[in-house]
Amino acid sequence: MKIHGIEIKKINDNLWEIPKSGGMLVPGRIYTSQNMLETTLQTDEAIKQVINVAHLPGIQKYSLAMPDIHWGYGFPIGGVAATDLNNGVISPGGVGYDINCGVRLAKTNLRNNEVKNKIQKLIENLFNNIPTGVGAKGAIKKLSVSEIKRILRNGAGWAVENGFGSKEDLLLTEETGCLADADPETVSERAIERGVDQAGTLGSGNHFLEVDIVEEIYDGTKAEIFGLFKDQIVIQIHTGSRGLGYQICDDYLKILLQAEKKFGFNLPDKQLACAPIQSGEGQNYLRAMRCAANFAWNNRQVIMYLAKKSFKETFSISENELGFNLIYDVCHNIAKIEEHEVDGIRKKVCVHRKGATRAFPPGSKFIPDRYRNTGQPVLIPGDMGRYSFVSAGTKKAMEETFGSSCHGAGRVQSRHKAMKEAKGRDLLKELTEQGIVIQAKGFKTIAEEMPFAYKDVSEVVDVMHYTGISTKVAKLKPIGVIKG
């Protein structure tokens, strides 16, 4: 099959390979269905980006793309690439602007029939308690520069130390909510300035807080261990490092564009600006990126605390009755040093996951003890009108994708095109008719994020399920959403 003049070979029904050619150092591999390959990818040039990434110095095995693949900056969104720790590079385009944009899933003891008559009030309270939108300021007081630097070093631990949650939350967060070797001295004054009043804010764009019902259970044993049951009310929080992370990415793209000349790289796209991992530029970017990741984990921890407060206010219920507890928090848009098997040898690599989620298997020492027999919970939000999924990581993910899975539905329309299609439509009414209560800062955000702008996440998740990369545990259906 050819797409955009590129030869793509079928490995199986859900896996396709772009053979190595020209300056590619490895083949490209795309996990997708034939239907998505022939429809959405015919109009999206992200396949060319898979090829471009295959040119990165030190790339290992394959340039990978998950089924939610679509065009991004440098890397496709849904892109995964591992580079050799000693001879490879780090590329901010493989992380993205919204560093550690991630998803947190919390559970309650409540069932749908206990919530449905108060869902409007609940969404109002959530919207009032959790700052949303561009430039939103934190629900906590404006922090000093020294306090922001503490967050950059300590991540979600800062929130817990300051009364926004418990130590148990940290145990159920990827990396316990903090990447080591984060160095605030590698972060610009402008980035810190942008973060001083954004701790505990949801932001705008595709960020959201969603109240869901557990609509379907696929794996009863794993669901029980995760704490999920049918008709249960659960909460998803999707946000990242806000303006601070964006600024860090912007700052280092400029630095690494110069580094590319210094190191004599000749890449097919300047958006793949990179530096050797072991260089001063590469190490400084990693330290700064970890700061942004820690800021994001702290952000989601504070927002979860505010969401719990909103539930207690709405239902006049005790903490024990509510049972509002974290299931897991996963990050995407990240680069992490991990150990993986390459050509039969265990070695350390830098795994770029841009719009991709970690999916570590049963037995991994890097996931909480609670999930040691199930594999890591993999949280895959859809769009605000249909459904989301909870899956579990597998051994096959470690063998094929550097322990990675998809991170969401993936856009099929640009924000501009979605706005154009929304013209003249009563979007709030459309969502209300589907049984979804929504509050947002304005029409624009709702229009840009309507279901028609996204792939059907069930098709995306099925690709991962049937290839055995991450297997389905439960399906969630939205009943209430707040957005910026």
Longest dimension (CA), the chain: 65
Give burial (CB, 10 Å; 0-12/13-18/19+) of 277.
Answer: buried
Give burial (CB, 10 Å; 0-12/13-18/19+) of 135.
Answer: middle
Residue 406 backbone class (left: φ over 0; alpha: ψ -120 to 50; beta: rest): beta
Q: Which of 4, 407, 416, 465 is catalytic?
A: 407
Q: Report yes or no: 360 and 403 within 8 Å, Cβ to Cβ.
A: yes
Question: What is the C-alpha to C-alpha distance for residues 148 and 140, in angstroms, rounded to an integer?
Answer: 12
Helix H, strand E, coil C: the string for the chain is CEECCEECEEEECCEEEECCCCCCCCCEEEECCHHHHHCHHHCCCHHHHHHHHCCCCCECCCEEEEEEEECCCCCCEEEEEEEECCCCEECHHHCCCCCCCEEEEEEEEEEHHHHHHHHHHHHHHHHHHCCCCCCCCCCCCCCCHHHHHHHHHHCHHHHHHCCCCCHHHHHCEHHHHCCCCCCHHHCCHHHHHHHCCCCCCCCCCCCEEEEEEEEEECCHHHHHHHCCCCCEEEEEEEECCHHHHHHHHHHHHHHHHHHHHHHCCCCCCHHHCCEECCCHHHHHHHHHHHHHHHHHHHHHHHHHHHHHHHHHHHHCCCHHHHCCEEEEEEECCEEEEEEEEECCEEEEEEEEEECEEECCCCCCCCCCHHHCCCCCEEEECCCCCCCEEEEEECHHHHHHCCCEEECCCCECCCHHHHHHHHCCCCHHHHHHHCCCEEECCCHHHHHHCCHHHECCHHHHHHHHHHCCCEEEEEEEEEEEEEEC
Question: What is the C-alpha to C-alpha distance for residues 23 and 56, in angstroms, rounded to an integer?
Answer: 9
pLDDT number for residue 74 = 95
Q: Taking Cα atoms as reference points, which of 261, 288, 289, 287 lies closest to residue 275? A: 261
pTM of the model: 0.93
Other Cβ atoms less than 10 A from the Cβ of 268: the count is 16
Other Cβ atoms less than 10 A from the Cβ of 145: the count is 13
Which residues have C-beta within 8 Å of that of residue 163, sequence separation ≥ 6?
none
Which residues have C-beta within 8 Å of that of residue 193, sequence separation ≥ 6?
none
What torsion do the CA atoms of 292, 376, 472, 213 make, to the nearest 10 degrees? Answer: -60
Mark whether 407 is an active-site residue: yes
pLDDT number for residue 421 = 61
pLDDT number for residue 236 = 97
What torsion do the CA atoms of 180, 99, 385, 169 make, to the nearest 10 degrees? Answer: 20
pLDDT number for residue 93 = 96
pLDDT number for residue 453 = 63
pLDDT number for residue 133 = 61
**Residue 165 identity (one-letter amino acid):** G
Domain ranges of the chain: 2-97+336-371
pLDDT number for residue 341 = 96
Which residues have C-beta within 8 Å of that of residue 58, sequence separation ≥ 6?
83, 84, 87, 88, 89, 277
pLDDT digits (tens, 9 = 90+) for 288-312: 999 999 999 999 999 999 999 999 9
pLDDT number for residue 393 = 98
Q: Taking Cα atoms as reference points, which of 362, 365, 379 lies closest to residue 464? A: 379
Please give the backbone phi and psi of residue 449, each rounded to the nearest 5 degrees, phi first: -115, 15
Q: Report yes or no: 433 and 476 within 8 Å, Cβ to Cβ.
A: no
Which tokens sit at 432? 């209300």
* Segments in the chain below pLDDT 70: 4, 40, 42-44, 133-139, 410-428, 442-454
Other Cβ atoms less than 10 A from the Cβ of 66: the count is 32
Which residues have C-beta within 8 Å of that of residue 463, sequence separation ≥ 6?
14, 31, 32, 33, 36, 67, 406
